[in-house]
Amino acid sequence: MPVATAAADDGRVMAAPGDIVDVVVNAGQPARHAFSYSVPLGMTLQPGQAVFVPFGAKVLQGIVLGPAGETPESGLRDIAAIADERVLLDPAHVALARWMSATYLAPLWECVSTCLPAGFGQRPVTMVTPVDVPPLLPVDRTDQRILAYLAEHGRTALDVLREAAGTVTIARLSRLQEQGMLTVAQGLARPRGHERFERRIALAGGPAEARAAVERLRAANPRSIEARLLEALADAGEITLTGARELGVTPRHVARLVAEALVEERAVQVDRDPIAGRSFASRGTPVLSPEQAAAANVVGARDGTTLLHGVTGSGKTEVYITLVQETLEAGRGAIILVPEISLTPQAIRRYGERFGTTIAVIHSGLSDGELYDTWFRVHEGRARVVLGSRSALFAPVNDLGLIVIDEEHEPSYKQSDPQPRYHARAAAEELARMTGARVVLGSATPDITTFHRAERGEIGYAVLEQRLAPAPGGGFTEAVLPQVQIVDMREELKAGNRHVFSRALVRAAGAALRSGEQVLLFVNRRGSARFILCRDCGNVAECPSCGTPMSLQADDGELPRTVCHNCGRTRRLDATCPRCGSTRYRPFGAGTQRIEMEARRAFPHARVARWDSQTAARKGAHDALVRGLEERSIDVVVGTQVLAKGLDLAGLTVVGVVDADVGLNLPMYSAPERTFQLVSQVIGRAGRRDRQGIAIIQTYSPEAPALQAAATGDYRAFFEHELPHRRRAGYPPFARLARLTFHHPDEEHGLEEASRVGTELRARRDAAGRAEPEVLGPSPAYIRRLRGEYRWQLLLRGHAPARL
Ligand code: ADP
Ligand code: ZN
Ligand code: ZN
């Protein structure tokens, strides 16, 4: 079989008639492989082009990946048609999609689709079409309803017809088709993503000709609408239909002028750009501090990945900007990823001021139209710098030279739903390998695994230890880190303080508020698991078999039970603390609403605002809140982890971590790490300018290493404490975890299925004579019930769990 040989101008392989190519098909099946097709006579193709292919009885969309990998069997079908002349995917993205599919066991189409413009996928639909001559009305009621609907609405998609006419079976439609009453055909739904065109009216000739016509029309009718339109056009050249309507112009007027060849109608493609119309004050490249310059050099001197480890406020962003600048000067493009929630207008402004309109912004809050147009702006090289959240990694930047992942430790870089379930950091490194780009992972509190890699020399390491602030006259000045105090809440109880705020916090916050400064109260709320805490001795109920904090089981029967989310073990909740016998041994954790209420009570003169996932759900809420804080119309903000990032407020001097224990006692191995990161981030918000910040951490376990290290800002101390634990317990970076989640409306059924799969996996592992991966569970998922379904999980732990 001839395999593609000719090369296109850019060195890309072309496929010609007779060649066999691999096509990934949007078939709605979880296939992890492509399908082979032959290229018909008269067609030449390039890998990365969109095509239509026959698939079973349907014609579906697909993307050509390249020459067929294996010598395929005979009887191959031809590609039906080319869907788009443009080459949508370059070889690097084709390879990235294949890598994701293999690594994350995800359907190949879904992986390819993440690299395509938004809303590109077309669903197959069944279309029902009426016949021209209306048939005699049938006797059957349902038949009548179907035909009546079709007669009125014309060609209709089957699901629409079903909504209108009740149960419409394929068998019924086939019968009606045989009787010559309608036709049924397969088609593809219109893609959600497409260009938008705007109708405009323009002069057909020159302005002089138009003005002459204005005179003529006015002579006949001084209030001529046509004259008014021509006059506007003589000034502006062209005008939108909406603009014309505002002048009182109707389609009749336009038609008359078109007939006289004075104007013409045009459809102009509009670029839907979320930052269009934003003008940025342009700023030059920053003058870096010696430490920043050294860090930038470390990154520049090394291929591959470098960790940029810089304390909060050390000016990592300025280093990124310098690196992007260098990348652009070398003629290459860049991608900057930030956690979704830190993609605030301030962040966009910081990059916009340096790179102007060559930046493209991509995040999940944009419309399909905006995403679609932005994708093509990047694809065509009109934008060279992409700034966005997780999914921006897949933007088709030409000649990619740099990928920055800011706050690389953030969990939001992991996509857990929908497919493909990937980690943007791993995918970025893979993409960089294929494009020769550099990767910079920036964080004040790197992921344990990332830091471990840097320690072993697998990736580069650059460090920023000095906190900076912009100097009033330009440039930078050194800034101080906040003073941190850990408050033992058991002592508060003993002293008779039963409030959620310690005396130290009330004192510090009160003083700040009196001098017109702002206070942030951080409440850690994630999911619904509530752990059991003794208020007198700080004891936490732990799983006897694996040491994970036990959670209160949601269905509270007569005797409350606790459950381990790690291994699934359940236990009756003790009535008193097994360690000290106290009766104050109960579930712990208050919601943000409750803390907000307490804050209003404690600081009656302060203007208090709440920021959590509930208040954040409203569009524009984040911006409004940040504005309120900047303009000082908010004195106290009570919020969850969404507040921990990105805020750079001059007036914020006191940060209180209200319930540090909640994070520490989450039922997952990464709980201490996550708590260390969150607490470090959130206390880093205090005193970012000239004033000394104060941070107060309230806890029942003041000796916890995660809190101690966060308080002293000692990353290494935390790392050195945590790593041996991970090694002993067999958690990352010493093993990999894979979680299988089972969800079903019936709780028992989900559990049975999870148990069955668990047993099967263990049996297969044993049959292969392997000791790993370990199969843990089934246990209730951390979020036990979601969208009306119960969720159970199995955890696989080992060096390559995906293999099993
Ligand atoms: P990080 O991203 O590490 O938390 P930022 O990049 O936000 O830190 O920097 C902290 C503050 O210091 C910001 O207000 C930033 O504008 C300022 N800054 C950092 N480096 C410089 C510099 N070289 N020149 C002027 N201002 C700087
Ligand atoms: Zn106790
Ligand atoms: Zn357990």
Mean pLDDT for the stretch of residues 294-307: 95
* Number of the ligand 1 atom closest to the C-alpha atom of 310: 3
> 5 falls in which pLDDT band (50, 70, 90)?
very low
Return all residues near 319 (Cβ < 8 A) that are at least 6 apart. Answer: 288, 292, 295, 296, 299, 308, 310, 442, 464
Residue 4 has what pLDDT?
42
> 10 falls in which pLDDT band (50, 70, 90)?
low
Which ligand is the nearest neighbour of the Cα of 779? Answer: 3
Phi and psi angles of residue 486, each rounded to the nearest 5 degrees, phi first: -100, 125
Residue 287 has what pLDDT?
87
Give the best-scoring range by mean pLDDT among 47-51, 220-224, 368-372, 662-666: 47-51
* Number of the ligand 1 atom closest to the C-alpha atom of 287: 23
Residue 20 has what pLDDT?
92
Is 668 or 495 the better-scoring residue by pLDDT?
495
Choosing from 288, 289, 318 the residue with most ligand 1 atoms within 8 A of its CB, the one to mutate for a pocket test is: 318
Is 785 or 484 the better-scoring residue by pLDDT?
484
Residue 308, ligand 1, Cβ within 6 A: no
Q: What is the pLDDT of residues 223-259, one digit of tens each?
A: 888 898 888 888 888 888 888 888 888 888 888 888 8
Q: What is the pLDDT of residues 167-185, one digit of tens each?
A: 888 888 888 888 888 888 8
Is 88 in contact with 145 (CB distance < 8 Å)?
no
Mean pLDDT for the stretch of residues 196-221: 87
The whole-angstrom separation of Cα 713 and Cα 695 is 12
pTM, 2 dp: 0.84
Q: How many CB atoms lie within 10 A of CB 547?
A: 12
The whole-angstrom separation of Cα 593 and Cα 608 is 11
3-state secondary structure at position 339? coil
The whole-angstrom separation of Cα 794 and Cα 526 is 21
Which ligand is the nearest neighbour of the Cα of 568? Answer: 3
Residue 316, ligand 1, Cβ within 6 A: yes
Q: What is the pLDDT of residues 368-395, one digit of tens each?
A: 888 999 999 999 999 999 999 999 999 9
Burial grade of 111 (CB within 10 A; 0-12, 13-18, 19 or more): buried
Beta strands in 338-415 (DSSP E): 359-362, 385-388, 400-406
* Number of the ligand 1 atom closest to the C-alpha atom of 406: 2
What's the 540 CA to ligand 3 centre distance in angstroms? 14
Give the best-scoring range by mean pLDDT among 118-127, 277-286, 338-347: 118-127
What's the 687 CA to ligand 2 centre distance in angstroms? 37
> 802 falls in which pLDDT band (50, 70, 90)?
confident
The CA–CA distances, whole Å, from 213 to 235, 241, 244, 289 equal 14, 21, 18, 66
Name the nearest CA neighbour of 37 among 8, 9, 63: 63
Residue 292, ligand 1, Cβ within 6 A: yes
Q: What is the pLDDT of residues 698-739, one digit of tens each?
A: 999 999 999 999 999 999 999 999 999 999 988 999 999 888
What's the 287 CA to ligand 1 centre distance in angstroms? 11
> 3 falls in which pLDDT band (50, 70, 90)?
very low
Residue 449 has what pLDDT?
96
Share above pLDDT 90 across residues of the chain, in percent, rounded to a whole number: 46
Residue 1 has what pLDDT?
39
Mean pLDDT for the stretch of residues 584-595: 80
Residue 51 has what pLDDT?
94
Give the best-scoring range by mean pLDDT among 16-30, 57-71, 90-104, 151-165: 90-104
Apex 782 CA angle, 700 and 109, nearest 5: 140
Residue 340 has what pLDDT?
75
**Mean predicted lDDT score pLDDT of the chain:** 87
Single-letter amino acid code for the residue at 800:
A
Tokens, residue 541: 């109920």
Is 286 or 14 the better-scoring residue by pLDDT?
14
Residue 442, ligand 1, Cβ within 6 A: no
What's the 578 CA to ligand 2 centre distance in angstroms? 7
Q: Is the pLDDT of residue 11 over 60?
A: no
Residue 152 has what pLDDT?
85
H or E segment and range at residue 473? none
Length of the chain: 804
Q: Is the pLDDT of residue 2 over 50?
A: no
Classify strands 196-203 and 238-240 as parallel, antiparallel or unpaired: antiparallel
H or E segment and range at residue 522? strand 518-522
Q: How many CB atoms lie within 10 A of CB 169?
A: 10
